[in-house]
Structure 1
Amino acid sequence: MTDYVAKALEVDIDDAVRRVREISEQEAMNQAISVVGAGPAPGGAEWEAEQGTDTPAARQTAWQLVRLRIELATGIDPFGTVLGLRRMGTTWATIAAAAGVSRQAAHDRWGKQVLGVLDAYGTGELGGPVADDEADLRRGMAR
C-alpha cells in the first residue's frame, strides 16, 4: 500500500513550482492587459495612427504597473516586473506609487537587485533608458 503522506513530503516539486510561477506571472499580465485595455490590433488604422506617438509605450508601462500591483496583492515575486519597469525608464517614484510604498522603500526593496542585473559588471552603463533618479537616493544612503 502506498504511503501518500510520505510521498507528499518527499516528492520533488521543483518542476511543479516553476510551472505554477510561469502560469501565475502570465495570468497577472493577462489580467493587467484586460484591465488597462489591449490596444488596437497591429496593422489596423488605429494601430497605424498610434505609431510614432508615446501611446504604445505608455500602454506598456501601464500594463506593467498593473501587473506589479497584481503580483504584490497575490504574493507573486514582482522582481521581473520591477526590473522591466526600470529597464523601460520608469522612475522609482512611479514604481513606489504602484507598490503603495515610498520611493525610498521601493529602492531599498529592489534597487540593489535591479542594479545587479542592469549593471552586472559595475561599469555604470545600464544598457538602456533606465530613469536617472539614483543619485539622490545614493546621497540619502550615504548619510
Structure 2
Amino acid sequence: MELVERAVGADIGSAARAVITAAAAEASRHADDIIGTGPLPGTPEWEAEQGTDIPTQRTLAWHLLSLRIRLAAGLDGIETVLGLRFQGATWATIGKAAGMTRQSAHERWGARTTALLDPLGTGVPTTVADDDPSRAG
C-alpha cells in the first residue's frame, strides 16, 4: 500500500512540465521534418530567398503545422498561438489550422495571448492582426 500512496500523493508538477517540454520539442522536430528549416544563411539558396516572402511564409507554415501537431498530441498550443499572433496571423488562419472557427480560436486563446502580448494594457505590438471577432460587425 505504501507504493500506491506514494503514487497517488507524489508531487508530479515537475514531471508533467518535463513531459510537456519534451512533447513540444518533438512537435518542433516533426515540423522541421515536414516544412523544413530553410537554407543556411550565406548559401546561394539563402541569398536567392532574400527579398522574397518565402522565409516569412515558411515561418508561418512551420508555426501553423507545429500548432496542429501540438493540438493533436493533446497540448494546449498557447506558446505557438502567441508566436503566430506576434507574426500577424489572423484568428481565421489560426482557427483553420486548429480545425475550428476564428471565433472559437479567439475564445480559446484570445484573452491569454492579449494578456501576454500586452501585459500593461498599453496595446499589442503592431504586428498583431487587428481582427478580434468580438468587435467584428
Structure 2 residue ranges without an equivalent (≥5): none
Distance (whole Å) between structure 1 residues aligned to residue 119 and residue 37 of structure 2: 34
Q: Once the 2 structures are TM-superposed, how far is the Cα of residue 88 of structure 1 from its aligned partner?
A: 0.6
Match of 1:34 in 2: 33
Distance (whole Å) between structure 1 residues aligned to residue 105 and residue 98 of structure 2: 8
Q: Once the 2 structures are TM-superposed, how far is the Cα of residue 38 of structure 1 from its aligned partner?
A: 2.3
Match of 2:78 in 1: 79
CA RMSD of aligned residues (A): 1.7
Contact 1:88 1:128 in 2 (8 A): no
* Percent identical: 49
Secondary structure class of the residue paired with 1:77: coil
Contact 1:86 1:131 in 2 (8 A): yes
Task: Give the letter for the 2:134 counterpart.
Answer: R
Task: Give the letter for the 1:127 counterpart.
Answer: P
Q: Once the 2 structures are TM-superposed, how far is the Cα of residue 7 of structure 1 from its aligned partner?
A: 1.5
Structure 1 residue ranges without an equivalent (≥5): none
Match of 1:108 in 2: 107
Task: Give the letter for the 1:74 counterpart.
Answer: A
TM (normalized to structure 2)?
0.91
Secondary structure class of the residue paired with 2:72: helix
Aligned length, in residue pairs: 137
User: Match for 1:130 among 110, 128, 131?
Assistant: 128
Moved beyond 4 Å, runs of 4+: none
CA deviation digits over 1:18-47, x for unaligned, max 9? Answer: 111111111111111111122112221101
